[in-house]
Structure 1
Amino acid sequence: MRSLGTASVAALRQYVRAAESAGVDITRLFDKASLNPAILDTDDGRIDGEQLQHFIHLLVEQTRNPVLGLETGDFVQPGTYSVLGYITMSCATLGEAVARIAPFEKLVGDMGTTRLAVNGDEITLAWNCNYDDPMVQPHLVDNVFSSWVNYARWLSGNDTASPSLVRLKRQSPGEKLERAYQSRWHCPVQFGADENSITLKKELLDTRLRQPDPLLRKTLEAHALTQLASLDTDSDLTSKVKYSIQQQLVHGITRQDMVADDLGMTSRTLQRKLSQEGVSYQKLLDEVRLKMAEDYLLNSELPIPEIALRLGYIETTSFHRKFKAVKGKTPGEFRASRGQA
């Protein structure tokens, strides 16, 4: 079976919000999907694609809702798209935002890929779903398109902005439920099509957005490119080790043997496999700690000693020394600099 890559926690959160709204027991759902609910407390965590696919499968089974994917699109937020969401918020027009989807969608996850085509006065966005569970596929496509439409309306401040046509590979869910698609998207919807695609009039792409900020967009895109480079260089094993470390650090723990056990191998085997890939457990631990430290310092008011404790440092001075050696600033100086950005 081919790997389904990874997915951002931000993408998972959208399904969690929909599940909670439907009265689903989230704790039980996470347990069945072998997911730790603590992952929701992280801003840049990632999970295996297989785990997200299994989570959606369980959610479809439990709700028995034939248009679940369509309805989960109602729960889209800027954060659903990770840094891509904030990049699009800073764009000047809807067209600028649409053009950012394909280059940066991997940050949201490896659920699928977007292809853009121009035909006369129309633009078509075709989305190829990578997930292979036949129960999950139609709901995932529905979610992506419903989220796109809702998010575009929010970005533009135009609640009536709509595609000119949506084509879906999935078979019709029945005449009554077809109306649910048309009432949300305000356009013709073709079922049983040869591709999953949304078609937009070019003039719609000229719609001005509410919060254009070219300088911020440039900064965010630079950050996004760095994140993409990290995803491209991480092997499947290093990604899983980093995720496991992150899960431990949520509880202030850092133990290689626990990570190895989480991955179903001995500590010695883990050390050997990482060595074969030219990395060490300590290097990955340092990378995860640094990213989490930056997030805590910039996005929380936690006291620095508390941050050090959460990152598994026995003494705050050790955290100060390690952080300054990499960033050239103490944690306090780094936090102070956020107001100058």
Structure 2
Amino acid sequence: MAGERFELEPTVQALLRDIGIAPPVVLRRARLPADLFARRPIELSADEYYRFWTALEVEGGDRSLAVDIGRAISVEMFSPPLFAALCSTDLTAAARRVATYKALMGPLRMSAESGQGLTISYTWPTSAASAPPPLLAVVELVFWVALARIATREPVRPSRVTVANRPADLPRLEEYLGARVRTSGTYSITFGTADASRPFLTENEAMWRVFAPDLRRRLSDLDASATVTDRVRAALRDTLPAGDASIGAVTSRLATSPRTLQRQLRQEGTTFQGVLTATREELARHYLDVEGLRTTEVAYLLGYGDTTSFYRAFRAWTGVTPQSARRGTPEKALLGAPPP
């Protein structure tokens, strides 16, 4: 995602005022231009995007800001993700639609898996200078609860919610969601089958057909501006947690052949194995900073079949062990047992 820029919706300014936070104060704290909201489009790099949400979290103080934002979301806020979702037939269709265009709306990846209900999960790029601000990650989850309640006019509650770090305002967040929030290595939210398929009263396919072409064009422009290396990295972030680090899994996602992909990567001065190794190392450093995520889980998220393989690879990359990279964390607590 290096070099990519993401649009901040102009309606964020109205949202800030609705929750009682002055936009100029947030911009100043985030070291962003004072006239940012006067620009069209409002484009930010990944680091700037993160700084904005970090500044907002600081300005929120001890408030449960994610809950306040969830309560402030309304149909009057015209924004692509909200509009795309509200026009859908149900929550499952909304999640799939938003997942397609999410790359336009921020430095993150979203997946929507249906089966026993609907699970929406988020992954974050490691090209930014820091991990995603906790507020931003939690707001992404709160959005879906707010959306479901607006669109169905029912008190929809998720069946499961996971976060990477325990929120300071956990009691109020759980009260708003109507569900227990568990600490895990990922940010995800799951809805039961009945709620995932509950009809949206706001469905409007005719309006969506008017709105969709512009989103498709913007997504095409974004894809065209990304290098092949960037696209491979993005694909690997999706395939690695599924345990597949093969070039075949990546070429399937990118609709190309292994031979063509290798040739394109050579033209950019790299190889598939080089991108795979760099992506794994980058993700490993990020995951090891996530509180509560064990090294066995990190190995799994990077597509390794066992912890020992990850341990050896990490030492080859960095010259240190995973537990050494994790400041102040005892080795046995991370690995469960010393490596051979």
Instruction: Check whether TM > 0.5.
Output: yes
Q: 2:46 aligns with which of 39, 44, 49?
A: 49
Q: Note closer, same or farther for the CA distance 1:235–1:172 as it changes in structure 2 (3 Å cut).
A: closer
Distance 1:92 1:117 in 2: 16
Say which structure is richer in helix: 1
Q: Which residue of 2 aligns with 1:225?
A: 216
Q: Note closer, same or farther for the CA distance 1:13–1:65 as it changes in structure 2 (3 Å cut).
A: farther
Residue type at the aligned position of 2:26: L
Deviations 1:64-107 (A, max 9, x none): 33743343333334586833332222222222212212111122
Matching of residues 129-148 of structure 1 within 5 Å: 129-130=124-125, 136-148=132-144
Q: Which residue of 1 aligns with 2:6?
A: 7
1:216 paired to 2:207:
yes
Q: Note closer, same or farther for the CA distance 1:17–1:216 as it changes in structure 2 (3 Å cut).
A: closer
3-state SS of 2:55 partner: helix
Distance 1:221 1:25 in 2: 32
Distance 1:138 1:32 in 2: 17
Residue type at the aligned position of 1:109: G
Q: Note closer, same or farther for the CA distance 1:219–1:155 as it changes in structure 2 (3 Å cut).
A: same
Q: Note closer, same or farther for the CA distance 1:190–1:73 as it changes in structure 2 (3 Å cut).
A: same
Identity %: 14
Who wins on radius of gyration, i.e. which is larger? Answer: 1
Distance 1:200 1:84 in 2: 19
- The answer for unaligned runs of 5 or more in structure 2 is 228-340
Q: Which residue of 2 aligns with 1:203?
A: 194
Deviations 1:228-283 (A, max 9, x none): 112233479xxxxxxxxxxxxxxxxxxxxxxxxxxxxxxxxxxxxxxxxxxxxxxx
Shift of 1:123: 2.0
Distance 2:187 2:57 in 1: 20
Q: How big is the alpha-carbon RMSD for the aligned residues of Structure 1 and Structure 2? A: 3.0
1:8–1:108 contact (8 Å) kept in structure 2: yes
Q: 2:93 aligns with which of 93, 96, 102?
A: 96
Distance 1:100 1:211 in 2: 15
Q: Note closer, same or farther for the CA distance 1:98–1:26 as it changes in structure 2 (3 Å cut).
A: closer
Deviations 1:178-235 (A, max 9, x none): 22122111112112x1221111112212211123232332332222111111223347
Distance 2:164 2:39 in 1: 34
Number of equivalenced pairs: 226
Distance 2:106 2:4 in 1: 8
1:74–1:146 contact (8 Å) kept in structure 2: no
- Tell which deviates more after alignment, 43-52 or 99-108: 43-52
Deviations 1:28-59 (A, max 9, x none): 43234343344424564322222221122223
Q: Note closer, same or farther for the CA distance 1:134–1:232 as it changes in structure 2 (3 Å cut).
A: closer
3-state SS of 1:118 partner: strand
Distance 2:15 2:214 in 1: 29
Task: State the TM-score, normalizing by the size of structure 1.
Answer: 0.57
1:187 paired to 2:179:
yes
Shift of 1:8: 1.8
Residue type at the aligned position of 1:122: G
